[in-house]
Amino acid sequence: MTADNATLQQLRDAIARFVDERLIPAEKQVEEQAEVPADIRQEMKDLGLFGLTIPETYGGLGLDTEGEVEIIFEIGRAAPAFRSAFGTTIGIGSQGIVIDGTEEQRQRYLPRMARGELIGSFALTEPEAGSDAASLRTRAERDGDSYVLNGTKRFITNAPLAGLFTVMARTNPGNAGAGGISAFLVERDTPGLSVGKVDKKMGQRGSLTADVVFENCRIPASALCGTKEGVGFKTAMKVLDRGRLQVAAACTGLATRLIDEAARYARERTQFGRPIAEFQTVQALLADSYAETYAARCMIRDAAKRRDAGEDVRVQAASCKYFASEALGRVADRAVQIHGGSGYMAEYPVEQLYRDARLFRLYEGTSQIQQIIIGRAVAQGNV
Ligand code: COS
């Protein structure tokens, strides 16, 4: 279900050109206007980016995890808002259907997602349920042939643009934990579903997030993702395993870019009569950034291969997301440091990218949650 090496290489080359010629030059505009312009979205569709991981049977490119991370390493070199434009549709907004959906659900939604006509979004987080996702309060009450949803979802990426939400809601109020949760596929125009105003953020401003509110939102019983109630938390966690690898790859792409920016600046900037790139203290900063980014790339490739081989990679995905996002934080900080005072000024890309980078240690599970996933498994002898 994946492209052969030559096709993947061709795609990667095309995307590298797209990043250099179209995305990087548009970064400032996206930041200032807080949206990815329509012509760039269209080019993303034409390149097949919205269908990268959607199986070929449903019109996508059918990349496996290994192929996906290679493409995301490349896209990740541009400001993260660009990946976000299609990232939920190929990731957390579609993979619930791919992994646990029924054939009918796949036929209904995946082809339109692959064409970029239907944006997928993932609605797990709530005002009172962030890291403790299993404590979510959104209710889905069965009523005849329907379920009625009530509750609020928070910080939902791409909510303002989405046509379909994978919504985790509690179907069994008697079970306050993970086993009481089911996943639903909820279409945007369903009465009772509303999207709040776009959140104002520290960075990644072209990536739109908002609340999604359900008020007596009636959906057909067939909107249950798959056929079984009570397995929605597991669906969400399986989706996040792949999602965390995508995020880790995005971190690694951005780290590569920041190293390039810092090294270029160091070659151009002269102090004490020489380019600062010749100073060993500057080289040491670059060396640490390179080594950490290389390590992240290697572990992501390994975890992606394992996932494709059918292994349970929850610990490896958490490790990749944890390491790559923390490493990116350090790489971004060093890139600003190498720029000196200029690194704090908006005319240099590192100022924006530093702010953009901060989010990666928070979403799709904070670093502390990844530590819990890894540490618990190691302590119990489960790795
Ligand atoms: N794949 C398959 N099943 C999984 C799984 C995975 N990756 N992770 C957990 N499960 C299963 C567990 O095996 C367990 O099943 P059983 O009840 O059959 O034993 C069930 O799901 C509950 O898991 P667990 O007991 O680990 O749940 P907890 O509530 O203790 O905690 C954490 C789970 C903290 C890891 C989870 O809530 C989490 O990831 N939180 C962060 C959420 C997040 O990333 N939010 C970001 C917003 S979404 S973009």
CATH number, position 161 = 2.40.110.10
Q: Quick check: 292 pLDDT over 50?
A: yes
pLDDT in tens, 255-272: 999 999 999 999 999 999
Q: Look up residue 33 and give its two tokens.
A: 């206007």
Nearest to 234 by CA among 178, 193, 165: 178
**Same domain? 250 vs 318:** yes
Identify the domain boundary among 179, 200, 228: 228
**Length of the chain measured in residues:** 383
User: What's the average model confidence in pLDDT over 114-123?
Assistant: 98
Active site residue 126: no
* Domain boundaries, position 330: 234-379
Identify the domain boundary among 193, 208, 228: 228
For ligand 1, the distance from its centroid to the CA atom of residue 51, given in whole angstroms, is 27
**Same domain? 183 vs 106:** no
**Same domain? 203 vs 245:** no
**Same domain? 318 vs 374:** yes
**Same domain? 354 vs 254:** yes
**Same domain? 25 vs 48:** yes
Dihedral pair phi/psi, residue 220, rounded to 5°: -65, 155
- Per the model's pLDDT, the better-predicted residue between 265 and 4 turns out to be 265
Residue 81, amino acid: A
Q: Are strands 181-187 and 146-157 parallel, antiparallel or unpaired?
A: unpaired
User: Does the beta carbon of 156 sit less than 6 angstroms from any atom of ligand 1?
Assistant: no
**Same domain? 195 vs 93:** no
User: Which of 121, 233, 241, 316 gets mutated to test ligand 1 (max ligand atoms within 8 A of its CB)?
Assistant: 233
CATH number, position 293 = 1.20.140.10
pLDDT in tens, 91-109: 999 999 999 999 999 999 9
Helix axes 5-18, 65-75, angle to 10 degrees: 20
Which residues fall within 8 angstroms of residue 160, CB to CB, at 6 or more apart?
195, 198, 208, 210
How many domains is the chain built from? 3
**Same domain? 371 vs 238:** yes
User: What's the average model confidence in pLDDT over 224-237?
Assistant: 98
Nearest to 242 by CA among 314, 157, 299, 327: 314
Average confidence score pLDDT of the chain? 97
**Same domain? 310 vs 355:** yes
User: Does the beta carbon of 241 sit less than 6 angstroms from any atom of ligand 1?
Assistant: yes
pLDDT in tens, 298-328: 999 999 999 999 999 999 999 999 999 999 9
User: Does the beta carbon of 238 sit less than 6 angstroms from any atom of ligand 1?
Assistant: yes
Catalytic residue (one of 31, 68, 126, 364): 364
User: Does the beta carbon of 134 sit less than 6 angstroms from any atom of ligand 1?
Assistant: yes
User: Does the beta carbon of 279 sit less than 6 angstroms from any atom of ligand 1?
Assistant: no
User: Quick check: 138 and 151 in contact, CB under 8 A?
Assistant: yes
Q: Report pTM.
A: 0.97
**Same domain? 55 vs 187:** no
What is residue 1's predicted lDDT score, i.e. its pLDDT? 41
Nearest to 168 by CA among 122, 105, 221: 122
Integer angstrom CA distances of residue 144 from 185, 220, 221 = 18, 9, 8
Report the alpha-carbon distance of residue 310 to residue 241 in Å, rounded.
12
Confidence category of residue 3, pLDDT binned at 50, 70, 90? confident
Which residues fall within 8 angstroms of residue 163, CB to CB, at 6 or more apart?
112, 117, 118, 119, 120, 187, 188
CATH number, position 107 = 1.10.540.10
In 221-323 the beta strands, taken as DSSP E runs, fall at: 270-271, 274-275
Identify the domain boundary among 87, 114, 141: 114
Report the alpha-carbon distance of residue 255 to residue 271 in Å, rounded.
25
**Same domain? 242 vs 204:** no
Q: Look up residue 287 and give its two tokens.
A: 């060396």
**Same domain? 48 vs 142:** no
